[in-house]
């Protein structure tokens, strides 16, 4: 990559720091776009060892909040990801489970099987597919270009029903029709960054669950989740992304997601 891809941020006085969920939640200057975009410049000059350089760019969630705020729209997450890709093996995607012949598939991202409830409400026959890594979302975003082809071949034109923004991103990239489950009704709305970073009152730009961040940076991911829960202040919140809702619940939040049954005990 061209060094010019990183110099704008490297010389920027951290003007987007206040919108970065990791920088805000952890208080670490190393999580700012300016700090992380300086790392490739130093690494390419031999100032940083390869392992230190990879560690120095690992705090990016990929949510895009910095780019949304940036006056010149520098695509920080995309450039950091592209720089890391040839230097770091992405996580191995989980094998895709067998599915039935039905033209509609409910993609399940947790142990709860909501597909029967949904099929009965819609009056259609469905098959289900359980995935622990959102159809390989993190692997794809971090450089595994085989993920999309494998998902496209496995689902073979079926309509995907999901409550996960990550699953939706992969399925759409694979050219599949997607139907998102509707968000539940609650007094406060928690916006998922999978729909674009739109932080409202009481939340950061991302919950901390995106792109395998908890596996890569568990302490920082926990701090992002806990800061979001603190900002929500105990209010019941609706989230259109089932994975975000579960992640924030695991850290003390009162979140209801699109796959939770009516009268869910989670809240």
* pLDDT value at residue 265: 54
Q: Between the CA of residue 98 and those of 83, 93, 129, 131, what are the distances in Å?
A: 35, 15, 7, 11
Q: Are 213 and 63 in contact (CB under 8 A)?
A: no
* Helices and strands per DSSP (H, E), number in the chain: 13, 7
**CA 236 to CA 34: how far, in whole Å?**
35
What Rg, from alpha-carbon coordinates, does the chain have?
Answer: 19
What six digits make up the tokens of 49? 């060892």
| 3 state DSSP class of 178 | strand
* pLDDT value at residue 115: 96
| 3 state DSSP class of 5 | helix
Residues whose CB falls within 8 Å of the CB of residue 162, separated by 6 or more in sequence, listed in order: 106, 107, 109, 168, 171, 178, 179, 180, 181
Domains with residue ranges and CATH for the chain: 4-87 (no CATH), 104-180 (3.40.50), 188-256 (no CATH)
* pLDDT value at residue 266: 56
**Beta-carbon neighbour count of residue 20 at 10 Å?**
29
Beta-carbon-side half-sphere exposure of residue 77 (alpha carbons within 13 Å): 18
* pLDDT value at residue 53: 92
Could you state, in chain order, the average pLDDT of each consecutive group of 10 residues for the chain (267 residues)?
Answer: 86 92 96 96 91 93 92 93 85 94 97 94 96 94 91 98 97 97 86 76 90 93 97 92 96 94 65
**Beta-carbon neighbour count of residue 157 at 10 Å?**
10
* pLDDT value at residue 264: 66
Residue 216 exposed, middle or buried by CB count within 10 Å (0-12, 13-18, 19+): middle
Eight-state DSSP code of residue 3 = T
| 3 state DSSP class of 19 | helix
CA angle 141, 149, 109 (to 5 degrees): 60
Strand partners, 178: 160
Overall pTM surpassing 0.85 (yes/no): yes
Which phi and psi (to 5°) does residue 33 adopt?
-60, -40
């Amino acid at each position: 990559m061209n060094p010019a891809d990183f110099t704008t941020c490297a010389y920027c006085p951290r003007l987007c720091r206040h919108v970065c969920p990791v920088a805000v939640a952890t208080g670490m200057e190393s999580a700012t776009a300016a700090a992380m975009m300086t790392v490739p410049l130093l690494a390419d000059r031999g100032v940083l060892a390869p392992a230190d350089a990879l560690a120095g760019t690992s705090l990016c969630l990929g949510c895009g909040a910095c780019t949304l705020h940036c006056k010149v729209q520098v695509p920080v997450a995309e450039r950091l990801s592209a720089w890391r890709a040839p230097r770091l093996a992405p996580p191995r995607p989980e094998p895709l489970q067998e599915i039935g012949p039905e033209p509609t598939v409910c993609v399940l991202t947790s142990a709860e099987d909501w597909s029967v409830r949904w099929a009965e409400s819609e009056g259609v026959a469905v098959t289900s597919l359980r995935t622990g890594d959102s159809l390989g979302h993190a692997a794809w975003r971090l450089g595994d270009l085989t993920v999309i082809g494998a998902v496209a071949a496995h689902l073979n034109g079926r309509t995907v029903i999901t409550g996960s923004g990550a699953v939706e991103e992969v399925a759409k990239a694979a050219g599949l029709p997607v139907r998102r489950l509707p968000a539940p009704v609650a007094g406060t709305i928690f916006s998922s960054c999978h729909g674009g970073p739109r932080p409202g009152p009481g939340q950061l730009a991302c919950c901390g669950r995106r792109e395998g961040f908890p596996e890569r940076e568990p302490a920082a991911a926990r701090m992002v989740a806990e800061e979001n829960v603190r900002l929500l202040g105990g209010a019941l919140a609706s989230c259109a992304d089932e994975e975000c809702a579960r992640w924030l619940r695991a850290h003390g939040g009162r979140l209801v997601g699109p796959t939770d049954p009516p009268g869910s005990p989670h809240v």
